[in-house]
């Protein structure tokens, strides 16, 4: 007999198992052959069929797709159906051999086979319990869980905003936005009741609506605050909104020695970042930062004095290239009045400490030390900054030596790499004076 295709007339005793998870009915039809079980598993969306062991779904036509012991779950008979060599489930109702239709029978080699219990309505809030009953039958197993956290929103919403000045100069910002809402929507998770929910489609469209409202040029921080405030003030069930914004580095183009009125070019790899959290008590928490800011210097860096053991292949040096991709985020104790100035001061402090004096530079004994010095300078220059978290992957440039061909490394030829790389991260928080 073909193990993959059988005809209805040749089918041996069969069994049917159903599992209802609240929205989808899973069914397994199994057939017991001499050499083992063959079974067909399928899935159907709620409302397209019924099974006698399940309560009808609201609005369902019970005349659709009756399921019998020899009915292919995809519709029609099993004849020509695809019978797979997959093991049967642990519990189902056996029909045919030695029993009438619907009769429960214990199989000696496959454990106890029981009909799944009827699930309660999804409106009762017992969907998790019903699924456990369907799987475990009458076993007293505590499968209940508690909903302890939930949220919803929209991610990767891309928007470009152009401002056209009377002088003829134009400005553009391109943002990618994520908005996450905390709301009194437990009933959606527990009961499948969406009453009062702000759909994620609404979240997306709100981003464009708020962008339209920004009649004057604004920063990523100001845009994030306005979006967050809108959700909390507009929708009664929303208690808090967290909005993240990433801004691409479009720079005004220089053409014929002058800044072009409406011409722009991508200025680098870095993204300006901002996060605003607004809740129904009127509190605003604001942070800003930079992401994937590539920097490198070709000297004034070294690394010595570290632990060396049998696993260490790195050699000590006081002369090396130092390259990294800065990702930094700083939190404000209170939102600055001028978010553009605060951002510029923070970024300038990171740049100046990393590179040092344009003519002579500044020596870095390790990425760790340089990271800490950069953070301290940012805290000194931006009084509203409460803390700063920085991640600096050490992107390695390895000296190239090839003695066979007579090539000797003289701080000139390097093997550029991107991975594996070192990862150095730290948070520096402003120390408050003790009272």
- The single residue of 71, 120, 200, 298 carrying the catalytic annotation is 200
Catalytic, 154? Answer yes
pLDDT bin (cut points 50, 70, 90) of residue 143 is low
Which of left, alpha, beta for 104 (phi over 0: left; psi -120 to 50: alpha)?
A: beta
Place of tokens 């920097």: 295
For the chain, how many structural domains are there in total?
3
- Compute the average pLDDT of residues 237-243: 97
CB 327 within 8 A of CB 289: yes
* Strands across the sheet containing 24-33: 36-45, 24-33, 14-20, 93-94
* Single pTM value for the model: 0.67
31 shares its domain with 82: yes
Q: How far apart are CA 342 and CA 346, in angstroms?
A: 6
Q: Which domain-ending residue is among 88, 120, 140?
A: 140
pLDDT tens-digit readout, 267-313: 999 999 999 999 999 999 999 999 999 999 999 999 999 999 999 99
Helix (H, G, I), strand (E, B) or coil at 304: coil
Domain assignment of residue 100, yes or no: yes
pLDDT bin (cut points 50, 70, 90) of residue 378 is very high
Domain assignment of residue 179, yes or no: yes
414 shares its domain with 294: yes
406 shares its domain with 430: yes
Q: Minimum mean pLDDT among 40-49, 294-303, 422-431: which range?
A: 40-49
Nearest to 68, CA basis, from 12, 16, 13, 134: 16
20 shares its domain with 110: yes
E strand or H helix at 46: none
Give residue 315's domain range.
Answer: 283-435
195 shares its domain with 219: yes
- The single residue of 51, 122, 154, 204 carrying the catalytic annotation is 154
pLDDT tens-digit readout, 161-195: 999 999 999 999 999 999 999 999 999 999 999 99
CATH number assigned to the domain comprising residue 248: 3.10.270.10
Q: How far apart are CA 6 and CA 200, in angstroms?
A: 47
- How remote is the C-alpha of 234 from its chain's centroid? 26
129 shares its domain with 199: no
Q: How far apart are CA 225 and CA 242, in angstroms?
A: 9
- Number of helices (H), then strands (E), belonging to the chain: the values are 6, 16
Domain assignment of residue 180, yes or no: yes
Q: How far apart are CA 231 and CA 180, in angstroms?
A: 10
* Strands across the sheet containing 238-247: 152-164, 170-183, 238-247, 271-279, 284-297, 322-332, 385-394, 422-429
Q: Which domain-ending residue is among 140, 175, 190?
A: 140
Q: Which domain-ending residue is among 236, 252, 281?
A: 281
Is pLDDT at 37 greater than 70 in this prediction? no
CB 320 within 8 A of CB 285: no
Catalytic, 396? Answer yes
Domain assignment of residue 327, yes or no: yes
């Amino acid at each position: 007999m073909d193990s993959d295709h059988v005809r209805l007339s040749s089918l041996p005793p069969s069994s049917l198992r159903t599992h209802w998870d609240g929205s989808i009915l899973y069914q397994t039809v199994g057939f017991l052959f001499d050499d083992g079980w063959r079974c067909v598993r399928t899935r159907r969306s709620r409302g397209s069929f019924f099974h006698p062991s399940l309560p009808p779904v609201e609005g369902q036509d019970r005349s659709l797709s009756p399921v019998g012991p020899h009915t292919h779950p995809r519709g029609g008979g099993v004849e020509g159906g695809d019978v797979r060599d997959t093991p049967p489930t642990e519990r189902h109702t056996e029909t045919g051999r030695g029993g009438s239709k619907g009769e429960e029978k214990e199989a000696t080699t496959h454990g106890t086979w029981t009909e799944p219990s009827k699930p309660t309505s999804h409106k009762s809030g017992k969907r998790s319990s019903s699924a456990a009953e369907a799987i475990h039958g009458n076993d007293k197993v505590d499968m209940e869980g508690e909903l302890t956290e939930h949220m919803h929103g929209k991610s990767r919403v891309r928007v470009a905003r152009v401002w056209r000045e009377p002088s003829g100069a134009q400005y553009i910002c391109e943002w990618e936005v994520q908005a996450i809402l905390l709301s009194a929507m437990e009933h959606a998770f527990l009961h499948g009741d969406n009453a009062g929910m702000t759909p994620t489609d609404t979240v997306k469209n709100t981003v464009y609506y708020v962008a339209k409202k920004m009649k004057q040029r604004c920063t990523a921080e100001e845009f994030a605050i306005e979006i967050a405030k809108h959700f909390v003030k507009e929708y009664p069930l929303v208690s808090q909104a967290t909005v993240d914004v990433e801004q691409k580095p479009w720079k005004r183009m220089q053409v014929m020695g002058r800044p072009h009125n409406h011409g722009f070019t991508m200025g680098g790899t870095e993204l300006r970042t901002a996060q605003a959290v607004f809740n129904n008590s009127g509190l605003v928490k604001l942070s800003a930062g930079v992401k994937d800011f590539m920097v490198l210097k070709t000297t004034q860096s070294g690394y010595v004095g570290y632990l060396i053991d049998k696993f260490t292949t790195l050699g000590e040096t006081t002369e090396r290239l130092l390259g990294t991709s800065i990702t930094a985020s700083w939190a404000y104790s209170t939102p600055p009045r001028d978010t553009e100035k605060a951002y510029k001061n923070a970024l300038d402090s990171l740049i100046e400490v990393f590179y040092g004096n344009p003519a002579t530079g500044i020596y870095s004994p390790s990425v760790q030390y340089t990271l800490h010095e950069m953070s301290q300078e940012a805290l000194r220059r931006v009084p509203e900054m409460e803390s700063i978290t920085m991640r600096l992957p050490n992107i390695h440039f390895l000296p190239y030596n090839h003695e066979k061909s007579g090539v000797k490394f003289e701080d000139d030829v390097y093997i550029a790499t991107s991975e594996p790389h070192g990862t150095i991260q730290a948070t520096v928080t402003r120390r408050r004076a003790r009272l």
